[in-house]
């Protein structure tokens, strides 16, 4: 008889809650370090946020992205990004904004056309100015903020406001630490990165909701069990599912990182970090923080047994 895959033994009983202060200290240090890196070193903003030139070209045969990247990289125009756009013959070229006025941008386009030579059809040429790039940056921040707010409302209605608070703390931890990683390594921060951050938020909250569901189930099942034991048991009972989900996701992301090419490498890196930090925050942050909140259920504080609950006169 076939049995399900268990990377974690079914009877595992790791002490997560007793070590919560260590987890909290690590998370605070990680968040503070990320903020310092962001304020001090800053982010390596991509063309989407700095402004630049965008060209959509079509080649006669399937485009050799690597060869085109080398040709344009030798022009000394700064940051240049190429990616397949719809079909193998279509390529989207993004070049950082050149110093100077519109004439400088036109000269850069002329150099690109000369480098690529004949046999290339230029279907679209656009200039992304500072105003548009600033709007994209603000819109990206709004997207992340509204997503976190929507998640808070969802958790609040599905559970209690204390669960929503724990989930948002974990999400904020994941987002800030991701920004810190990009600042530390100087990776390009663009609209794809914003999409990765939103995906990380969704992945993290999915893990958190699974553990919260088990917490709520155990609260109803074990009315006399102390809260620390209930929380720790809930984490251990869902640990196998969480680890299997994370490992299978990481396998796909590692394949994208090593085999997907330079275009999606930074996106894949952000997702890999997001899976790791999201799994950590769901287990070691979102659930342990519930211990410090006064969660009420049917007139009884969760930390009390039925006998310890206040008597109704």
pLDDT of 313 over the 70 cut: no
Mean pLDDT of 301-305: 44
Measured distance CA(99)–CA(197) in Å, rounded: 31
Token duo for residue 210: 């699974």
Q: Predicted confidence band at 74 (pLDDT cuts at 50, 70, 90)?
A: confident
pLDDT tens digits, 85-96: 778 888 888 888
* CA nearest neighbour of 121 among 182, 60, 33, 188: 60
Contact of 94 with 47, CB cutoff 8 Å: yes
Residue 94: what pLDDT?
84
Q: Predicted confidence band at 118 (pLDDT cuts at 50, 70, 90)?
A: confident
Mean pLDDT of 106-116: 88
pLDDT of 81 over the 90 cut: no
Give the burial class of 66: count Cβ atoms within 10 A of its Cβ; 0-12 exposed, 13-18 middle, 19 or more buried: exposed
Q: Predicted confidence band at 163 (pLDDT cuts at 50, 70, 90)?
A: confident
Instruction: Tell me the DSSP string of 241-310.
Output: HHHHHHHHHHHHHHHHHHHS-STTHHHHHHHHHHHHHHHHHIIIIITGGGGGS--EETTEETTS-TTTSP
Mean pLDDT of 11-30: 91
pLDDT of 49 over the 70 cut: yes
Q: Please, what is the Cα angle at 273 between 267 and 278, to 5 degrees?
A: 120
Residue 156: what pLDDT?
78
Instruction: Write down the pTM of the prediction.
Output: 0.76
- Helix, coil or strand: residue 40: helix
Contact of 208 with 286, CB cutoff 8 Å: yes
Show the domains of the chain with their CATH numbers: 17-42+133-301 (1.20.1640.10), 52-128 (3.30.70.3400)
Measured distance CA(53)–CA(139) in Å, rounded: 20
List all residues 6 or more positions away from 266 whose beta carbon is below 8 Å from its beta carbon: 187, 188, 192, 193
Q: Predicted confidence band at 311 (pLDDT cuts at 50, 70, 90)?
A: very low
Token duo for residue 53: 């030139």
Percent of the chain's residues with pLDDT above 70:
88
> What are the start-end ranges of the H helices in the chain?
20-40, 47-50, 65-73, 102-116, 130-158, 161-185, 191-221, 227-259, 265-281
236 versus 151: the higher-pLDDT residue is 236
Residue 292: what pLDDT?
84
Give the max Cα distance, the chain: 91
Instruction: Please report where in the chains the tokens 């819109």 appear, as a residue.
Output: 139
Instruction: Please report where in the chains the tokens 């756009």 appear, as a residue.
Output: 85
pLDDT tens digits, 193-228: 888 888 888 888 888 888 988 988 888 888 888 888
pLDDT of 308 over the 60 cut: no
Average pLDDT, the chain: 82
Residue 285: what pLDDT?
92
pLDDT of 146 over the 80 cut: yes
Give the C-alpha distances (Å, rounded to integers) separating 152 from 142, 147, 171, 307: 15, 9, 10, 33
pLDDT of 270 over the 80 cut: yes
Q: Predicted confidence band at 276 (pLDDT cuts at 50, 70, 90)?
A: very high
- Helix, coil or strand: residue 42: coil
């Amino acid at each position: 008889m076939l049995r399900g895959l268990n990377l974690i033994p079914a009877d595992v009983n790791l002490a997560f809650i007793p070590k919560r202060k260590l987890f909290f200290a690590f998370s605070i240090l990680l968040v503070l370090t990320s903020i310092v890196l962001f304020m001090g070193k800053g982010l390596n903003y991509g063309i989407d946020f700095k402004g630049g030139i965008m060209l959509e070209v079509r080649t006669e045969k399937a485009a050799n992205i690597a060869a085109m990247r080398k040709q344009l990289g030798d022009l000394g125009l700064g940051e240049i990004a190429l990616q397949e756009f719809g079909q193998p013959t279509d390529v989207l070229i993004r070049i950082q904004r050149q110093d100077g006025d519109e004439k400088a941008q036109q000269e850069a386009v002329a150099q690109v056309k000369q480098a690529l030579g004949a046999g290339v059809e230029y279907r679209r040429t656009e200039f992304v100015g500072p105003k548009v790039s600033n709007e994209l940056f603000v819109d990206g921040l709004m997207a992340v903020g509204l997503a976190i707010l929507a998640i808070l409302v969802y958790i609040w209605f599905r559970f209690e406001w204390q669960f929503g608070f724990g989930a948002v703390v974990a999400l904020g931890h994941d987002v800030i630490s991701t920004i810190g990683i990009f600042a530390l390594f100087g990776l390009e921060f663009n609209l794809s990165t914003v999409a990765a951050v939103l995906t990380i938020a969704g992945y993290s909250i999915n893990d958190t909701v699974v553990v919260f569901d088990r917490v709520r189930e155990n609260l109803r099942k074990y009315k006399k069990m102390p809260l620390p034991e209930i929380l720790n048991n809930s984490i251990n009972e869902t640990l196998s599912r969480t680890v299997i989900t994370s490992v299978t996701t990481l396998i796909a992301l590692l394949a994208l990182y090593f085999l997907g090419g330079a275009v999606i490498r930074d996106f894949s890196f952000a997702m890999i970090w997001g899976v790791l930090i999201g799994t950590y925050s769901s287990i070691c942050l979102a659930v342990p923080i519930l211990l410090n909140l006064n969660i009420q259920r049917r007139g009884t504080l969760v930390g009390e047994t039925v006998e310890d609950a206040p008597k109704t006169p």
